[in-house]
Structure 1
Amino acid sequence: MDLANILKPEAVKVIADASSKKRLFQRLGEAAESAYGLDSEAALEALLERESLGPTGVGDGIALPHARLKDASEVRGVFFRLERPIDFDSVDRQPVDLVFALFAPENSGVDHLKALALISRTMRDAAVCGKLRANDDPTTLHTVLTAGQSQAA
Structure 2
Amino acid sequence: MQLAEILRPDGVKVLASSPSKRRLFQDLAEMAGACWGLDPAKVNEALLEREGLGPTGVGQGIALPHARLHGLDRVRGLFLRLEKPLDFESVDRQPVDLVFCLLAPASAGVEHLKALALVSRTLRDPALCAKLRANSDPATLHTILTESGPRNLAA
Which TM-score tier does this pair reach, normalised by the shorter chain? over 0.9
The runs of 5 or more residues in structure 2 that have no matched partner are none
Measure, in 2, the Cα distance between the counterparts of 1:95 and 1:152: 31
Q: Quick check: 1:68–1:106 contact (8 Å CA) kept in 2? A: yes
In structure 1, the residue matched to 2:93 is: 93
Question: 2:145 maps to which residue?
Answer: 145
Q: Structure 1 residue 83: deviation in Å? A: 1.0
**3-state SS of 2:58 partner:** strand
CA distance in 2, matches of 1:133, 1:25: 20
SS at match of 1:38: coil
1: CA distance, partners of 2:40 / 2:125 = 30
The alignment of Structure 1 onto Structure 2 pairs a total of residues equal to: 153
Q: Distance in 2 between matches of 1:72 and 1:16?
A: 30
Moved more, 12-21 or 57-66: 12-21
Cα-to-partner distance string for 1:21-62 (whole Å, 9 max, x where unaligned): 000000000101111111111010000000000000000100
Q: Percent identity?
A: 65
Match of 1:102 in 2: 102
1:1-153 equivalences under 5 Å are 1-148=1-148, 149-153=151-155
Check conservation: 2:11, 2:31, Cα contact below 8 A.
Answer: yes
Mapped partners of 1:10, 1:21: distance in 2: 22
- Report if aligned partners of 1:21, 1:87 keep a CA contact under 8 Å in 2: yes
